[in-house]
Amino acid sequence: MMDSSTPLQPGAAIGILGGGQLGRMLALAGARLGFDVHVFDPEPNCPAARVCDRAWSAPWSDLGAVEGFAGKCAAVTFEFENVPLAALKAAAGAAPVRPGARSLELTQDRVTEKDFINGLGIPTAPWAAVDSLEGLKTALEAVGAPAILKTRRFGYDGKGQARLKTADDAARAWDEIGGQPAILEGFAPFTRELSVVAARGLDGRVVAFPLAENIHKGGILRESRAPAEASASLCDRATAIADKIGAGLGHVGVFAVELFDMGADGLWVNEIAPRVHNSGHWTMDACPSDQFEQHMRAVAGWPLGDPAPHSRCTMTNLIGHDVDAWGDLIADPDVRLHLYGKREVRDGRKMGHVNRLTRL
């Protein structure tokens, strides 16, 4: 294996574990910087497979296949946090993996994640780990109601979550999440949701994009507006949170921190995504170096680019049949259309997004 601090040369192969839309946009950014991009995904016809140099397909459990893929790459990264840890570790035996297993392991489980965040002195909603219905009742006494019960693992876009208005909802909520190991979180009475997307280089330098304000519907991100209206001190606080989390993870690459704006109570962290993030898609058209390029630069050990936006941007996700409006959207000169090449439209599926720009 190459000395892990040596910057990759153009033409080197970078491997991406996971070939969804995030993998696709990473592959496109990597290609523009002159890398050969390999993608590994159990689904051969995944969105990234059609834009990369080489697509590899095998189940995640085929660790030999993962190792074979990594062996052809000068560095390996991942596009989503549900890549099995065993697969990442198998890849790490054959190539430098950036970010490393620690970033994945700590953020795959909501309990270890919250523990890590609070351990850095960063506030979150009050929480307690839950392993049984009895445990949920005890947790409710500690955390209070209203509250949200979330599965510890494999939750995304609001899936694996149940809301509790009062302690009487305990049995229903436990049932709703399928009686799995969980975390109970007190309901945060936030004024709005924000996120900070940042990149940490191989040299430990963190470069953050400005805050985005995020609007969710039905647990799915609908819209991000950036840069968010925010005081200098709020921006500084968000950057300090990103710095601490990036360093604490020893992260290399892009990561996102979802935040609750608690008004006078400051910022609470909701969760960390150890990867490029939907709330950073606005950077593709509004910043000199977007989140995908930043990530590939970091993975390659290259200097990070300029994150300062030249425009204000509203990013809107095209979810399910929203994408049918593509003809009108592409005809609008103020709109930048991004489609993910997904062959089948399904309700709730992210099919693409649009960025609407106004000059700063």
Contact flag: residue 280 with ligand AMP (CB under 6 A): no
Contact flag: residue 270 with ligand AMP (CB under 6 A): yes
Residues 12-51 that bind ligand AMP (CB under 6 A): none
Contact flag: residue 187 with ligand AMP (CB under 6 A): yes
Cα 96 to the chain's mean position, in Å? Answer: 21
Q: Are 303 and 346 in contact (CB under 8 A)?
A: no
Q: Nearest approach, Cβ of 117 to ligand AMP (angstroms)? A: 13
User: What's the rounded Cα separation, in Å, for the pair 49 and 39?
Assistant: 6
**300 closest CA partner among 65, 103, 73:** 73
Contact flag: residue 304 with ligand AMP (CB under 6 A): no
**22 closest CA partner among 4, 53, 47, 57:** 47
User: What's the rounded Cα separation, in Å, for the pair 340 and 317?
Assistant: 11
Q: Nearest approach, Cβ of 160 to ligand AMP (angstroms)? A: 8
Q: Of the candidates 216, 310, 321, 346, which one interacts with ligand AMP according to CB under 6 A?
A: 216
- 30-58 burial, b at 16+ Cβ within 10 Å, e below that, comes to bbeeebbbbbbbeeeebbbbebbeebbbb
Q: Of the candidates 36, 185, 213, 285, which one interacts with ligand AMP according to CB under 6 A?
A: 185
User: For residue 355, what are the β-bridge partners?
Assistant: 315, 336
Q: Nearest approach, Cβ of 174 to ligand AMP (angstroms)? A: 17
Q: Nearest approach, Cβ of 148 to ligand AMP (angstroms)? A: 5
Q: Which residues touch 341 (CB under 8 Å, ≥6 apart)? A: 24, 47, 50, 51
Cα-Cα-Cα-Cα dihedral of 61, 65, 68, 69, to 10°? -90
Q: Are 195 and 278 in contact (CB under 8 A)?
A: no
Contact flag: residue 269 with ligand AMP (CB under 6 A): no
Contact flag: residue 219 with ligand AMP (CB under 6 A): yes
Cα-Cα-Cα-Cα dihedral of 197, 16, 97, 200, to 10°? -20
Tell me whether residue 31 or residue 188 sits nearer to ligand AMP (CB atom). 188
What tokens were used for 284? Answer: 């593709």
Tell me whether residue 216 or residue 310 sits nearer to ligand AMP (CB atom). 216
CA angle 191, 197, 201 (to 5 degrees): 150
User: What's the rounded Cα separation, in Å, for the pair 227 and 212?
Assistant: 6
Q: Nearest approach, Cβ of 225 to ligand AMP (angstroms)? A: 15
Q: Of the candidates 79, 213, 261, 271, which one interacts with ligand AMP according to CB under 6 A?
A: 271
User: Which DSSP symbol is given to 119?
Assistant: H
* Contact flags string 225-264 toward ligand AMP, x per CB under 6 A: ---------------------------------x------
What tokens were used for 94? Answer: 């054959």
Q: How many residues bind ligand AMP (CB under 6 A)?
A: 13
Contact flag: residue 158 with ligand AMP (CB under 6 A): yes
Contact flag: residue 165 with ligand AMP (CB under 6 A): no
Contact flag: residue 81 with ligand AMP (CB under 6 A): no
Q: Are 212 and 167 in contact (CB under 8 A)?
A: no
CA angle 96, 35, 86 (to 5 degrees): 30
Contact flag: residue 274 with ligand AMP (CB under 6 A): no
Q: Nearest approach, Cβ of 187 to ligand AMP (angstroms)? A: 4
Contact flag: residue 148 with ligand AMP (CB under 6 A): yes
288 φ/ψ angles, rounded to the nearest 5 degrees: -60, -40
Q: Nearest approach, Cβ of 292 to ligand AMP (angstroms)? A: 21
Stretch that binds ligand AMP, among 61-69, 137-145, 186-194, 299-307 (CB under 6 A): 186-194
Q: Contact positions toward ligand AMP, by CB under 6 A? A: 125, 148, 155, 158, 185, 187-188, 193, 216, 219, 258, 270-271
